[in-house]
Every structure is written in C-alpha cells, then in structure tokens.
C-alpha cells in the first residue's frame, strides 16, 4: 500500500482567545515533522459526510505554525470564519480529537529569505501573527538580528492574542519591541491607526525608535491581503522589495486569503 502523505495527530489543548472568533489549539507532533519558523502546515479534516473513521481527510487548509521547531507539539492560531467550511469545524475540536497534518511543511516566510540585515520588522494584522510567534519563540531570530520590532494590528484590544507572552519576551529582551495597534478602540499610549498609516507617517519608526531603512531593515508582512497590498506599495516607494531570481530582497510577504 502507498505511504500516506499525512499523519494523524491528536488535539491536546484548545484555548479560546475571543469566544466564537479566535482560538488556538495544540496537537501532537510526528517526530519526523521538521519545519522552519514562519512556515505553514496543511491541516486536514475528514470530509463532513464521512462516516467511516478510517476515511482519508477530505478538507485541507493552510495554517502557519505558532510553535517553534524545538517544541514537542504543534500549535496553531485561527479565526472562525462563520461561513467557512474548515475553521468552524476546527474550532469545535476538543482534546482527543483527530487532526491530520500533511507530512511536508510549506512556505517561505522564513529568516532564510534574508541572508543579511540588522533589524527585522514583523508586521501582521489579525491571525497573521501566527507565523511570527514561531519566529519569536525560536532563538535564531535574536542571533540574526540586532533589533526586532513586532507590530500587531487588530480591530480591538481583546484580539491581541499572545499579548502576555510577547510582552514577557520583550520584557526580558531590550532588542525586541512589541507594538500592539488597535484601530477601533484606544489603547493607552498608542495611536488608533492602521499600521499602514503608521508606516506612511513615520509613526511606527517613532514608536519603535528604529528607522525603516532598506539597507539595514528586513520586513515581513502577513495577514489581510488589502493590508499587504497597501503596505507593499508604501514600502516599495521606500526601497523595499521581495527577492527575485536569486537576488536577495528586503521584504517577504505571506498572503492568507
Ligand atoms: C499560507 C497560509 C497560512 C495561513 N495561516 C493561517 C493561520 O495561521 N490562521 C488562520 O486563521 N488562518 C490561516 N490561513 C487561512 C486558512 O487557511 C483558512 O482560509 C481559514 O482558516 C478559513 O478557512 P475556512 O474554510 O473556514 O474559510 P475559507 O473558505 O478558507 O475562507 C473564507 C474567507 O474567510 C476569510 N478568511 C480566511 N482566512 C482568514 C483569516 N486568517 N483571517 C481573516 N479572514 C480570513 C477570507 O475572506 C476568505 O475568503 C492561512 C492561509 C494561508 C494561505
Ligand atoms: N473583528 C471583528 O469583530 C469581526 C466581526 C465580524 C466579522 N469579522 C470578519 O472577520 C474577518 C477578519 O476580521 P479581523 O478583524 O480579524 O481582520 P481584519 O479585517 O483584517 O482587521 C484586522 C486589522 O487589519 C486592519 N486592516 C484591514 N485592512 C487594512 C489595510 N488595507 N491596511 C492596513 N490595515 C488594514 C484593520 O483595520 P480597520 O479596523 O481600520 O479595518 C484591523 O486593525 C473579516 O472578514 C471580517 O469581516 C470580524
């Protein structure tokens, strides 16, 4: 019989960050599953009409790894799209339930994209934070970059998932700056603006105490496709571009939908 392209893993822990909207889950990890921080997994669920529990998974979606490569389990952070086929079912999983994981990790939102550079900017909206958690939990990033600025744009403060963990990391590490940005609520001491507005008016640089300099800075973008398009345009005007045909770039982008 041909070897399967996926493994069957077991949910061990579920956390609701915003009930009905944002949650994370941890699953067991196949010891052979190796990945780079910033990569994504393909997760599978059995087809909804499959009554045979040995039926192969029929529905697959991409999910960035939140967990770092050294962690024993895999962790994922997800939105619930009410009309979506996959995320409402993923949100209903409970410890002991099965989740299938494609044996191959995917994606290029990894530090390897940037062979050099001094400062790393990680810009995310919403669940785009996922990939950056894996990068932040791995020690490589702080060996590679003098300064790291993580900017997380959300609508309201309750959507600032992983905030305590990131603040704890930043509290121990003066080279790591965390900028939580809410657009529909006022966060004390922070502007109530989209992160693109803050790129355009220099607000992010002032808040981080760090210049966005194409020669020294490396930028990752992840999350809402409209944000990616707007940010790419703004950053492009300032000399940031993805790598092409073997020429290393200073911008890496991951589109979630
Ligand atoms: C490389 C990659 C990595 C991804 N990583 C994550 C992740 O870490 N966490 C995560 O929640 N999703 C992630 N996604 C999106 C994920 O694959 C699914 O699309 C999502 O979970 C919704 O699945 P669905 O079947 O319920 O709805 P779908 O039919 O897949 O999507 C329906 C609509 O929901 C909206 N939507 C989809 N995903 C999101 C999202 N993440 N945030 C806001 N709106 C969304 C879009 O308008 C989309 O057209 C990633 C996608 C890609 C391509
Ligand atoms: N969050 C909710 O309470 C809520 C409620 C109902 C439905 N939904 C649906 O859930 C999905 C995801 O919602 P979400 O709140 O997680 O993600 P989102 O809509 O991508 O918003 C996350 C953050 O990204 C910002 N943003 C959006 N477009 C941008 C752009 N072009 N440039 C810069 N920043 C941009 C938003 O600012 P703005 O606030 O300025 O848009 C917000 O701060 C959406 O399809 C939404 O319709 C969400």
**pLDDT band, very low/low/confident/very high, at 169 (cuts 50, 70, 90):** very high
| Position 55 pLDDT exceeds 60 | yes
Question: Which residue's CA is minimally distant from atom 53 of ligand 1?
Answer: 256
Q: What is the pLDDT of residues 197-206, one digit of tens each?
A: 999 999 999 9
Are 64 and 130 spatial neighbours (Cβ–Cβ below 8 Å)?
yes
Check the CA dihedral 105-233-178-205 and report its sign. positive
Mean pLDDT of 151-167: 98
Task: Report how far ligand 1's centroid is from the alpha carbon of 78 (Å).
Answer: 8
Domain with CATH 2.40.30.10 in the chain: 6-102
Estimate to the nearest angstrom the gap between the alpha carbon of 208 and the chain centroid: 20
CATH of domain 6-102: 2.40.30.10
Tokens linked to 68: 């770092």
Question: Which residue's CA is minimally distant from atom 50 of ligand 1?
Answer: 256
C-alpha closest to that of 191 among 176, 206, 177? 206
Q: What is the pLDDT of residue 53?
A: 60
**Long-range own/partner contacts, residues 178-182 (CB < 8 A, 24 or more apart):** 178/150, 178/152, 179/149, 179/150, 179/151, 179/152, 179/204, 179/207, 179/208, 180/152, 180/154, 181/151, 181/152, 181/153, 181/154, 182/153, 182/154, 182/155, 182/156, 182/157
The answer, yes or no, to whether any atom of ligand 1 lies below 6 A from the CB of 256, is yes
Q: What is the pLDDT of residues 95-112, one digit of tens each?
A: 999 999 999 999 999 999
- Per-residue exposure over 134-156, b if at least 16 CB sit within 10 Å of its own CB, e if not: bbbbbeebbebbebbbbbbbbee
CA distance 174 to 72: 28
Q: What is the pLDDT of residues 180-237, one digit of tens each?
A: 999 999 999 999 999 999 999 999 999 999 999 999 999 999 999 999 999 999 999 9
| Position 158 pLDDT exceeds 70 | yes
| Position 56 pLDDT exceeds 90 | no
Tokens linked to 220: 């990752």
The answer, yes or no, to whether any atom of ligand 1 lies below 6 A from the CB of 132, is no
Q: How many CA atoms lie within 13 A of 103 on its CB side?
A: 7
**How many other CB atoms sit within 10 Å of the CB of residue 94?**
9
Name the residue with higher pLDDT: 49 or 214.
214
Q: What is the pLDDT of residue 76?
A: 98
Of the listed ligands, the closest to the CA of 158 is: 2
- Candidate from 227, 228, 234 with most ligand 2 atoms within 8 A of CB, to mutate: 227
Of the listed ligands, the closest to the CA of 85 is: 1
CA distance 110 to 113: 6
Domain with CATH 3.40.50.80 in the chain: 111-255
The answer, yes or no, to whether any atom of ligand 1 lies below 6 A from the CB of 38, is no
Of the listed ligands, the closest to the CA of 77 is: 1
The answer, yes or no, to whether any atom of ligand 1 lies below 6 A from the CB of 81, is yes
| Position 49 pLDDT exceeds 70 | no
Q: What is the pLDDT of residue 1?
A: 57
**How many other CB atoms sit within 10 Å of the CB of residue 203?**
17
Choose the CATH number for 111-255 among 3.40.50.620, 3.40.50.80, 1.10.530.10, 3.30.2320.20.
Answer: 3.40.50.80
The atom number, within ligand 1, closest to the CA of 59 reads 25
Q: Which residues pair with 209 in a beta bridge?
A: none
Question: Which residue's CA is minimally distant from atom 30 of ligand 2?
Answer: 227
- Entry pTM: 0.96
Of the listed ligands, the closest to the CA of 60 is: 1
Tokens linked to 32: 């052979």
Task: Report how far ligand 1's centroid is from the alpha carbon of 124 (Å).
Answer: 14
Number of H helices, E strands in the chain: 7, 11
The answer, yes or no, to whether any atom of ligand 1 lies below 6 A from the CB of 64, is yes
Pairing mode, strands 6-18 and 98-102: antiparallel
Of the listed ligands, the closest to the CA of 229 is: 2
Task: Report how far ligand 1's centroid is from the alpha carbon of 51 (Å).
Answer: 26
- Count of residues making up the chain: 257
The answer, yes or no, to whether any atom of ligand 1 lies below 6 A from the CB of 24, is no
The answer, yes or no, to whether any atom of ligand 1 lies below 6 A from the CB of 67, is no
The atom number, within ligand 1, closest to the CA of 76 reads 8
Mean pLDDT of 144-172: 98
What 8-state DSSP symbol labels residue 60?
Answer: E
């Amino acid at each position: 019989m041909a070897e399967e392209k996926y493994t069957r893993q077991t949910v061990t822990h579920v956390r609701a960050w915003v009930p009905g909207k944002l949650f994370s889950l941890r699953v067991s990890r196949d010891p052979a599953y190796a990945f780079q921080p910033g990569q994504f997994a393909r997760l599978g669920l059995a087809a909804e009409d499959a009554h045979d529990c040995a039926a192969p998974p029929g529905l697959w979606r991409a999910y960035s790894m939140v967990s770092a490569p050294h962690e024993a389990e895999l962790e994922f952070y997800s939105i619930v799209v009410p009309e979506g086929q996959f995320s409402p079912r993923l949100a209903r999983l409970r410890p002991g339930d099965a989740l299938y994981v494609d044996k191959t990790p995917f994606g290029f939102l990894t530090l390897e994209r940037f062979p050099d550079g001094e400062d790393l900017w990680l810009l995310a909206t919403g669940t785009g934070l996922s990939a950056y958690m894996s990068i932040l939990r791995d020690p490589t990033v702080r060996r590679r970059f003098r300064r790291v600025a993580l900017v997380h744009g959300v609508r309201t403060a309750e959507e600032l998932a992983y905030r305590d963990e990131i603040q704890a990391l930043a509290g121990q590490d003066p080279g790591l700056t965390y900028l939580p940005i809410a657009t529909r609520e006022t966060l004390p001491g922070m502007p109530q603006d989209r992160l693109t507005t803050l790129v355009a008016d220099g607000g992010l640089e002032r808040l981080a105490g760090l210049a966005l300099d194409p020669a020294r800075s490396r930028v990752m973008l992840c999350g809402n496709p409209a944000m990616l398009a707007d940010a790419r345009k703004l950053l492009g005007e300032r000399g940031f571009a993805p790598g092409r045909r073997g020429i290393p770039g200073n911008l890496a982008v991951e589109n979630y939908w």
